[in-house]
Amino acid sequence: MVTELVTGIGVGFALGYGLDRLFGTMPWLIVLLTLLGFAAGVRVMLGTARELQRQSEAADGTQAGRPAGREGRDSGDGS
């Protein structure tokens, strides 16, 4: 997940640097596009986290019908 954040920042910085060099607006586009890259990276990272959480919940739900492990058994005889 961190890779997505770093990639967003890196792409924003690279585009900002290139456009700043082209237009001579140093450092305005670097700052703007780096911030936009950060926001995009956070958005993608949160989406990935949600997807992983859904997959985890789905996996837990499919195992709910299985018999409990040793620690979850209750024999009812008090032992």
- pLDDT tens per residue, range 15-39: 999 999 999 999 999 999 999 999 9
How many C-alpha atoms does 39 have within 13 Å on its Cβ side? 6
Give domain status of residue 9, yes or no: yes
Residue 20 lies in a domain: yes
Return the ∠ at Cα 42 (arms to 40 and 43), rounded to 5°: 65
Report if residue 70 sits inside a domain: no
Q: Which domain holds residue 20?
A: 2-58
| Residue in this structure with the two tokens 């950060």, named with its chain if needed | 38
pLDDT for 1: 81
| Six token digits for residue 2 | 């961190």
Q: How many domains does the chain have?
A: 1
Longest dimension (CA), the chain: 82
Q: Identify whether 77 is part of a domain.
A: no
7 within domain boundaries: yes
Question: Is residue 18 one of the residues assigned to a domain?
Answer: yes
Residue 44, domain member (yes or no): yes
Q: Could you give the CA distance from residue 37 to residue 14 in angstroms, rounded to a whole number? A: 10
What's the chain's Rg over C-alpha atoms?
24
